[in-house]
């Protein structure tokens, strides 16, 4: 008798799983056994991992499995020009997870179909580092709701065509995680999940070569625990204990945590601080080969259990350290990476008015294979670090420490030519290595002009805000707005009145979403109405022109003006010339792109692509359809 109904469906699902497993198991086994070759329990741990993978697949919902199949059949689904992202904190945006779900209509009005939810898992109050000190990977912060509420939110998003991204903090746990509590209580098996030492003899060896992440607010890479008289590795903050991935139990358990979260409806897993996850004395404990082995294994596991899920790598490194995290075409690692260097180079250009560094960065990206997909952004939840190409800048007489000081002085309003209002984070006067905080609107001049009542300056600042977003949208990859940027949200200084936040200036740009101001997006003459419709217009243009697809080649062009950046994108249908003026004065892009007229997609105006006049802080997208 033929199998019917649910039984046949289960059999088909089991067959699909086995097929995926058969294709990838040999490589997974080889990598796992090589990484843990010094362990006597490797085979046992590998078998435990295999059993857990099957269990998570079996409990994965029918709808998520259907999405997996669709994306397997369309592996380029995330590389096209129809994705538009937004990152937000659920508590700031909707109060709770349920409240966030109630605002899905607004997200759709924003053109968002990729929602990056900032950390929302259980973290101790007062020492959570913005949610990046996780005490339980399977529990939501109580004030936001429950894991059931989270699954309901992801389901509602999916029904509205919105993909969901969630941070996965894999380098460390909170010191209040169950593993940490048992380690502190003296259980050796749990101490082995971290880096525990009896004294500073070995930690001192690490310190010789391992840089400090926060030399001012959290100096050193280790913390003494007086209650159990042990030293534990804490690369970031003392309450964030580094996990020891040389222990296969750690890898297995963290993979299970990841699979648990994707089964709640997560489409994109942001791998937080991934370059740091393997520690080895005598090295800088960054970007070690074993990191790539671990990420490759996570990619294989996701392709077996949940192939519709993307891995987004948070790799805050220079370009030559960045590209390896994509892996190779036959052995891929991350699907998408943060485009941190372009973001930082963009703000450098805002402060200097010189596009040379930004052009160099784009030229580097243009030389990468077209399957390298980046997540592009102007601002995010984090500070701006000045990890620039100082070797390149040296030829212009710019030295690292003085130049960092200039950038920070500019964006905190200390220079005569500044229009920005920002604050420093982790300021270390000895090293001159502070980072920068502030919203896009405040950093590009909207806040200062508004307070001064300078209408001309505000007009330029609004134009600059839109030009910076246009530049971000014209880059290859997935553009992501930071919630509030679409309505020009300004710095929020109320964090200074909250004892739990006052010491962390990053809360300057992590303010509550101003729904009362968002209502003005349809009120003519308001700041919100000046920004919101114009930004939505740019998004619609991007979605409707295939020349913005991530696979389309692009290159920079000479404009013969150091303040004007020129970039061309071209496919079989269209040729697009993008021009951006980073000067506060009217400038001309001295280009010669042919005799035929192009249409500026933004204004609809027909223009010859020759000697193009750009207003202060203005831009244009000149497009020509091919016959």
Whole-angstrom Cα distance, residue 261 to residue 358? 37
Instruction: Provide mean pLDDT across the span 378-402.
Output: 94
E strands of 101-192, at which residues? 114-117, 121-122, 136-140, 163-169, 172-174
- Per-residue pLDDT at 493 exceeds 70: yes
Per residue in 405-428, pLDDT (tens digit) is: 999 999 999 999 999 999 999 887
**Angle (CA) 315 316 321, round 5°:** 70
Share of the chain above pLDDT 70, in %: 98
Per residue in 91-148, pLDDT (tens digit) is: 999 999 999 999 999 999 999 999 999 999 999 998 998 899 999 999 999 999 999 9
Whole-angstrom Cα distance, residue 277 to residue 288? 9
Residue 319: the pLDDT is 63
CB count in 10 Å sphere of residue 200: 14
- Kindly indicate the confidence band of residue 38, based on its pLDDT and cuts at 50, 70 and 90: very high
Catalytic residue among 175, 314, 383, 492: 314
- Per-residue pLDDT at 327 exceeds 60: yes
- Per-residue pLDDT at 58 exceeds 70: yes
Whole-angstrom Cα distance, residue 91 to residue 119? 10
- Per-residue pLDDT at 24 exceeds 70: yes
Residue 364: the pLDDT is 92
Least-confidence region, from 3-17, 507-521, 569-583: 3-17
Residue 427: the pLDDT is 84
CATH of domain 548-625: 2.60.40.1180
Instruction: Provide mean pLDDT across the span 303-318.
Output: 93
The chain-wide mean pLDDT, for the chain, equals 95
Residue 114: the pLDDT is 98
Q: Can 41 be counted among the known catalytic residues?
A: no
- Per-residue pLDDT at 214 exceeds 90: no
Report the candidate in 357, 332, 354 with the shortest Cα–Cα distance to residue 343.
Answer: 357
Instruction: Provide mean pLDDT across the span 50-56.
Output: 98
E strands of 273-391, at which residues? 310-313, 336-338, 373-376
Instruction: Provide mean pLDDT across the span 164-183.
Output: 98
Residue 100: the pLDDT is 98
Domain map (residue ranges) of the chain: 178-242, 548-625
214: DSSP letter: B
Residue 5: the pLDDT is 59
- Per-residue pLDDT at 1 exceeds 50: no
- Per-residue pLDDT at 429 exceeds 80: no
Instruction: Provide mean pLDDT across the span 529-549.
Output: 97
Class of domain 178-242: alpha beta
Catalytic residue among 149, 272, 303, 492: 272
Q: What is the DSSP code string of 8-44?
A: HHHHHHHHHHHHHHHHHHHHHHHHHHHHTTT-TTHHH
SS3 435: strand
Contacts of 33 (CB under 8 A, 6+ apart): 42, 43, 46
- Per-residue pLDDT at 7 exceeds 70: no
Residue 316: the pLDDT is 83
- The token pair that represents 390 in the structure block: 């100082």
Sign of CA dihedral 510, 341, 413, 448: negative
Per residue in 157-167, pLDDT (tens digit) is: 999 999 999 99
- The token pair that represents 490 in the structure block: 């300004």
- The token pair that represents 320 in the structure block: 């030559």
- Per-residue pLDDT at 3 exceeds 70: no
Residue 433: the pLDDT is 78
Residue 320: the pLDDT is 64
Q: Can 109 be counted among the known catalytic residues?
A: no
Residue 101: the pLDDT is 98
Residue 2: the pLDDT is 43
Share of the chain above pLDDT 90, in %: 91
* CB-CB contact of 489 with 508 (8 Å): no
């Amino acid at each position: 008798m033929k199998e019917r109904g649910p039984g046949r469906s289960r059999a088909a699902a089991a067959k699909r799983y086995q097929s995926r497993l058969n294709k990838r198991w040999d490589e997974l086994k080889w990598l796992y056994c090589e990484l843990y070759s010094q362990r006597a329990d490797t085979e046992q741990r590998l078998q435990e991992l295999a059993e857990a993978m099957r269990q998570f697949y079996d409990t994965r919902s029918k709808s998520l499995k259907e999405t997996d199949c669709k994306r397997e059949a369309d592996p380029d689904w995330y590389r096209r020009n129809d994705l538009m992202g937004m990152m937000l904190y659920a508590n700031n945006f909707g109060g709770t997870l349920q409240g966030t779900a109630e605002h899905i209509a607004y997200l759709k009005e924003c053109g968002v179909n990729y929602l990056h939810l900032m950390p929302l898992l259980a973290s101790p109050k007062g020492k959570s580092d913005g949610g990046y000190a996780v005490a339980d990977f399977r529990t939501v912060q109580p004030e936001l709701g429950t894991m059931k509420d989270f699954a309901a939110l992801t389901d509602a998003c999916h029904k509205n065509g919105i993909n969901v991204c969630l941070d996965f903090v894999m380098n460390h746990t909170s010191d209040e995680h169950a593993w940490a509590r048992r380690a502190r209580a003296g259980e050796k098996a749990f101490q082995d999940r971290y880096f525990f030492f009896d004294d500073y003899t070995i930690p001192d060896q690490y310190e010789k070569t391992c840089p400090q992440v926060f030399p001012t607010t959290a100096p050193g890479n280790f913390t003494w625990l007086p209650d159990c008289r042990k030293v534990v590795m804490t690369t970031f903050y003392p309450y964030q204990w580094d996990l020891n991935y040389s222990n296969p139990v750690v890898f297995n358990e963290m993979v299970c945590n990841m699979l648990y979260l994707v089964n709640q409806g997560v489409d994109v897993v942001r791998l937080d601080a991934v370059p740091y996850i393997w520690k080895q004395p005598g090295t800088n404990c960054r970007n070690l080969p074993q990191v790539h082995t671990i990420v490759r294994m996570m990619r294989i596991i996701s392709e077996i259990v949940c192939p519709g899920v993307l891995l987004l790598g948070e790799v805050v490194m220079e370009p030559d350290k960045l590209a390896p995290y994509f892996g190779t075409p036959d052995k891929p690692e991350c699907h998408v990476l943060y485009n941190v260097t372009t973001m930082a180079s963009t703000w450098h250009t805002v402060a200097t008015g010189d596009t040379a560094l930004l052009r160099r960065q784009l030229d580097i990206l243009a030389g990468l294979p077209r399957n390298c997909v980046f997540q592009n952004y102007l601002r995010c939840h984090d500070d701006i670090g000045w990890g620039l190409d100082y070797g390149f800048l040296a030829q212009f007489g710019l030295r690292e420490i003085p130049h960092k000081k200039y950038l920070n002085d500019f964006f905190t309003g200390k220079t005569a030519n500044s229009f920005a209002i920002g604050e420093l984070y982790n300021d270390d006067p000895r090293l001159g290595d502070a980072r920068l905080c502030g919203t896009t609107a405040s950093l590009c001049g909207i806040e200062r002009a508004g307070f001064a009542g300078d209408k001309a300056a505000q007009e330029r600042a609004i134009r600059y805000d839109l030009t910076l977003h246009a530049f971000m949208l014209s880059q290859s990859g997935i553009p992501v707005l930071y919630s509030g940027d679409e309505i020009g949200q300004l710095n929020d200084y109320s964090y200074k009145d909250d004892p739990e936040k006052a010491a962390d200036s990053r809360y300057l740009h992590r303010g509550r979403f101003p729904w009362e101001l968002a209502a003005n997006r349809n009120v003519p003459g308001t700041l919100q109405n000046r920004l919101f419709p114009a930004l939505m217009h740019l998004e619609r243009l991007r979605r409707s022109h295939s020349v913005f697809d991530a696979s389309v080649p692009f290159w920079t062009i000479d404009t013969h003006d150091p303040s004007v950046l020129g970039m061309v994108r071209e496919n079989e249908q269209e040729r697009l010339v993008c021009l951006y003026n980073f000067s506060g004065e009217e400038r001309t892009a001295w280009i010669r792109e042919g005799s035929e007229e192009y249409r500026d997609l933004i204004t609809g105006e027909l223009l010859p692509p020759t000697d193009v006049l750009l207003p202060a802080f203005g831009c244009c997208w000149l497009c020509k359809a091919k016959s």
